[in-house]
Structure 1
Amino acid sequence: MEYEKLVRGDVELWKRKLMKRSSLLNRTAKKAQTKMNGLIPEKANSVITESIKKMVQGALFGSEYLTKTKAVRAATLEELDKEVKEKLNFYKKAAAVEGAGTGGAGILLGLADFPLLLSIKMKYLFEVAALYGYDTKQYEERLFILYVFQLAFSSDQTRMETMDKIDHWETYKEDAEEIDWRVFQQEYRDYLDLVKLLQLVPGIGAIVGAYANYNLMDQLGETALNAYRLRWFNERENGQKQEKQSGL
């Protein structure tokens, strides 16, 4: 119980951190990116959105069959957290190796980093979902994974909206529709633009690629850990409320 109290406090701190406004530099960069996106013809935007959608769906499909972890929740939250963190360490190293390899191999392989890193991230999220005892073959669980991903890599407004959905998932999932793929791809693309451009620069691409991928994976790991912790607490609290109501 003591561990759960500590984790509950960590989750609340994490939520407050996510709700804070980004720095002035980040907000300025986002405005510039939004303006640039507005200059892209609608037809091109549609093609980009559909391409990212297919890429993500492919990563989701592949992750389902590559995930070896069975959907069985650990006995305690402490045991569960330990397993999730061990998984993250493995995937951070894998992402760093992938980033160094593609970043140091020139522009053509550098461009291949996007789908490769995306697959690593999705595979990790499938593993985390399974560890928490959720069946990733279910539509609502795949949708939750996408929202966790979006929460990790989005700007202020989208991050707040996504946080609200995750925090109230038991209610939201009842009428949940397909994720907005236009928003999904633009937020993710804008978030990665600068660092991925640096990864294509000869001489520093390998270093930038390894460092960037390691940190991006670490950020996703923190988001996934706390999002599923939050869901764990919310589900237990809802269960306790239902027990009290049925006992009246």
Structure 2
Amino acid sequence: METKQELQTALEETDLWIEDQKKAWFWEKWTRLPFKLLDKITPEFVHKKVGAFLDEMGSYIQNGGKYLTSQKMVYKSIEKKSGSPINSIEDITKLRLEEMDMLSKDLAGSRRKAAAVQGATTGIGGLFTLSIDIPALLGISLKTLQEIALIHGYDPNEKKERIFIIKCLQFASADIVGKRAILDNLAAYYDGEGSTNEIMAQIQGWREVVYTYRDQFGWKKLFQMVPVAGIVFGAFTNRAMISDIAEAGSFLYRKRRIIDRMRSIEEPQSAKS
């Protein structure tokens, strides 16, 4: 394991990234406008598709549903890349932080490629295949974050962990005000306090997550609504979005692992004194 000083340095590096995410960018004030205008001309079947997926998101938070990833497959992948035998979550927690970082980067790379293919495929039909792209991209996002959770030694089978995953999804798509609020919500995880019910109440309705997520990339999807030309734009925007989500999940989970590891070092010392 890392020394306390090494963990402190890693925590400072992670916090620098988080602080950078709190800075406002000039386009944040207008990124949601296109989709709000497009809502007025979007066919009803697209809205129904989004509505159906909202219900699936609720199911995911409660029991994982069809979006719950296969832990055994993730274990095999981690074992192959790390060279260490992995049979449980406990085995993963013994990996060094740099190994977790490497695994997260490898995962992000493969998922970016998958998202690009997905975006190109659904971009063929323009507006009419956008209803397929939104839930498909959200599905890739959830599985990516679940695997990042496992890479850092956290079990997405636990309801509390699935709520954290939704928070990561929110963070990646939130504006500057939203990011700050989400980081405040996540304090319970970093402090090792707070019940599942308390954290669930902070999410303020999982429906808000999907609407925020959709609005945030509205302007990016504007050109994907053009048939055929949407192939290029769909591939590019999906790749960029999964990159943002994987980055957010990796840093937020990295901070949790560092803090948990520092706590495990400090507790024995406190007991001795």
Q: How does 1:145-156 map to 2 (within 5 A)?
A: 145-156=165-176
Hey, what does 1:11 align to over in structure 2?
14
Contact kept, 8 Å, 1:100 with 1:209, in 2: the verdict is yes
The answer (yes or no) to whether the contact 1:151–1:162 under 8 Å persists in 2 is: yes
8 Å Cα contact 1:49-1:181 kept in structure 2: no
State the one-letter code of the partner of 2:113.
K
- Where 1:171 maps in the other structure, the secondary structure is coil
Look up the SS of the partner of 2:212 in the other structure.
helix
| Alpha-carbon separation, structure 2, partners of 1:156 and 1:190 | 14
Given that residues 99 and 209 in structure 1 are in contact (C-alpha distance below 8 angstroms), is that contact kept between their aligned partners in structure 2? yes
Specify whether residues 19 and 65 from structure 1 end up closer, same or farther in structure 2 by C-alpha distance, changes over 3 A only. closer
1:20 and 1:131 mapped to 2: Cα distance?
28
For the 8 Å contact 2:69–2:147, the answer to whether it is kept is no
Offset of residue 107 of structure 1: 2.8
Matched ranges for 1:226-237 at <5 A: 226-237=251-262
Match of 1:73 in 2: 93
Q: Once the 2 structures are TM-superposed, how far is the Cα of residue 49 of structure 1 from its aligned partner?
A: 8.6
Residue 27 of structure 1: aligned partner: 29
Q: Which runs of 5+ in 2 are unaligned?
A: 41-47, 76-88
Deviations 1:164-205 (A, max 9, x none): 222441224463225322432332121021222321112420
- The equivalent of 1:42 in structure 2 is none
Code of the residue aligned with 1:26 in structure 2: it is: E
Structure 1 201/78 Cα, relative in aligned 2: closer, same or farther at 3 Å?
same
**What letter matches 1:11 in structure 2?**
T
- The normalised TM-score by structure 2 is 0.76
Paired residue type of 1:191 = Q
1:198 corresponds to which letter in structure 2? F
- Kindly provide the CA deviation profile for residues 126-161 of structure 1, in whole angstroms up to 9, marking residues without a partner as x: 111111111211111111111111111111222111
TM-score between both structures, scaled by the size of structure 1: 0.83
Q: Please tell me whether residue 186 in structure 1 is matched to residue 211 in structure 2.
A: yes
Q: What whole-Å deviation, never above 9, does each CA across 1:59-112 have from its counterpart, x for those lacking one? A: 642232545214333520111111111111110000000000101233322320
- CA RMSD in angstroms comes to 2.9
Who is 2:79 aligned against?
A: none
SS of the aligned residue for 1:152 comes to helix
Q: After alignment, is 232-241 or 107-116 more displaced?
A: 232-241
> 1:240: which partner in 2?
265
Distance in 1 separating the partners of 2:233 and 2:67: 26
Counterpart of 1:90?
Answer: 110
Deviates more, 1:6-15 or 1:128-137: 6-15
Aligned AA (1:75): L
Matched, 1:207 2:228: no
Give the Cα separation in 2 of the matches to 1:74 and 1:143.
24
Distance 1:206 1:118 in 2: 18
Q: 1:29 and 1:93, CA in 2 relative to 1: closer, same or farther beyond 3 A?
A: closer
> Are the aligned partners of 2:172 and 2:245 in contact in 1 as well (CA < 8 Å)?
yes
Percent of residue pairs identical: 24
The size of the alignment, in residue pairs, is: 239
The higher relative CO (CA closer than 8 Å, separation ≥ 6) is in 2
Whether the aligned pair in 2 keeps the contact of 1:150 and 1:188 (CA below 8 Å) is: yes
Aligned residue type for 2:267: Q
Please say if residues 167 and 230 of structure 1, whose CA atoms lie closer than 8 Å, have aligned partners that are also in contact. no
| 1:133 counterpart SS class | coil
Residue 122 of structure 2 contacts residue 133 of structure 2 at CA under 8 Å; is this kept in 1?
A: yes
Using the TM superposition, give the Cα deviation of residue 212 of structure 1 relative to its aligned residue in structure 2, in angstroms. 0.3
What residue number does 2:200 align with?
Answer: 177
Q: Could you tell me whether the CA contact under 8 Å between 1:3 and 1:78 is conserved in 2? A: no
